[in-house]
């Protein structure tokens, strides 16, 4: 006697119920949200500064732990490159593990194989998130800071005695108010905004995030029509903070995070602006396209259960002429 198969509608409803329930559990761990489904990014926990009595500026004393796919860690690599600090501050690369859900060090460091082990070494009993970037003090064997926005300020100012481009000031006093105004606008709407889109757990939360994201991108595109960089003729930390998000936008955020109203390359000025920043001295080697695709598509299981990594786009397009030289003659050298 032939067995009866389950009704297709029942299979669909059951599958949807199981997957939705599991998705909600996984997302609660990956991306905590509030009652309306808006993603809430946890605060960084280590907030000390180079230049304090305990952490004096010195060459070859401090180390950066980064993930090449992470935009927050990428900020620190860009500033390290622009300032010419490659021989002053070492870098250890960590890779996300899709199985363990943690950052695993590419090579053992400080007796640790994973980032959580490093955090425990710095603060035994630590129960918070173990994230990149980390600015580590090899002398006191602890984490100085794990907030990218603060680390890049330190890299810009505290190591000029050893920097090959000590003349380059990415946070000049005369522009600090403008830089911070841009940071306050860009962080919630764009830097964190793409995550608010991708990690939204309600339609309303997603709609709010996408509206703010693309309104702000349009505003910046209009500014860039007459200004080479956000604060005028010189590159600043505001540009660095924006660049590492825009570099990933068309690659992962447009599709994986559903930020698909418009690509960056479709804007009249933003696309050329990204190429301009990418072509600044020593920035391109910090941009690992394959790591970005692997870390996002291969590790964010709730957003891409199949783990299939797309073949494109081609990074060579970032080497095309940007045509923004006529807006200023002042670039890092």
Catalytic annotation, residues: 70, 195
Q: Which of 156, 197, 146, 120 is nearest to 42 (CA)?
A: 146
Residue-by-residue DSSP string for 190-224: IITHHHHHHT--SHHHHHHHHHHHHHHHHHHHHHT
H or E stretch including 115? helix 115-122
HSE at residue 187, side-chain half, CA atoms within 13 A, is: 14
Supply 237's token pair: 């930390």
Contact residues for 266 (Cβ-Cβ < 8 A; gap 6+): none
Phi and psi at residue 303, to the nearest 5°:
-95, -20
Contacts of 218 (CB under 8 A, 6+ apart): 267
Task: Tell me the HSE value of 293 on the side-chain side, using a 13 A CA sphere.
Answer: 12
CA dihedral 15, 17, 23, 24 (to 10 degrees): 180
Collapsed DSSP state (helix, strand, coil) of residue 69: coil
d(CA 148, CA 171): 15
Nearest to 223 by CA among 245, 239, 207, 209: 239
């Amino acid at each position: 006697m032939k067995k009866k198969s389950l009704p297709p509608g029942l299979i669909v409803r059951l599958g949807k119920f199981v997957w939705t329930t599991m998705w909600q559990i996984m997302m609660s761990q990956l991306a905590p949200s509030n009652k309306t489904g808006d993603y809430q990014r946890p605060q960084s926990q280590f907030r000390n500064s180079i230049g304090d009595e305990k952490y004096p500026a010195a060459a070859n004393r401090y180390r950066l732990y980064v993930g090449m796919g992470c935009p927050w860690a990428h900020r620190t690599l860009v500033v390290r490159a622009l300032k010419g600090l490659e021989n002053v501050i070492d870098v250890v690369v960590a890779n996300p593990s899709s199985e363990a859900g943690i950052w695993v060090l590419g090579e053992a460091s400080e007796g640790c194989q994973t980032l959580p082990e490093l955090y425990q070494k710095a603060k035994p009993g630590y129960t918070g998130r173990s994230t990149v970037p980390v600015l580590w003090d090899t002398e006191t064997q602890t984490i100085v800071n794990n907030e990218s926005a603060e680390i890049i300020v330190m890299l810009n100012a505290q190591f000029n005695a050893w920097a090959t481009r000590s003349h380059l000031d990415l946070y000049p006093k005369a522009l600090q108010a403008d830089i911070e105004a841009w940071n306050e606008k860009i962080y919630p709407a764009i830097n964190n905004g793409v995550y608010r889109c991708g990690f939204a757990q309600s339609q309303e939360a997603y709609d709010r995030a996408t509206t703010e994201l693309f309104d702000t991108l349009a505003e910046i595109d209009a500014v860039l029509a007459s200004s080479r960089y956000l604060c005028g003729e010189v590159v600043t930390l505001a540009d660095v903070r924006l660049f590492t998000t825009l570099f990933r936008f068309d690659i992962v955020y447009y599709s994986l995070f559903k930020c698909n109203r418009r690509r960056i390359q479709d804007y009249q000025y933003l696309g050329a602006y990204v190429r301009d920043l990418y072509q600044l001295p020593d920035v391109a080697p910090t941009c690992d396209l394959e790591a970005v695709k692997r870390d996002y598509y291969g590790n964010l299981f709730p957003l891409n259960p199949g783990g299939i990594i797309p073949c494109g786009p081609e990074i060579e397009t970032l080497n095309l002429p940007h045509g923004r030289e006529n807006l200023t003659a002042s670039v890092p050298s």
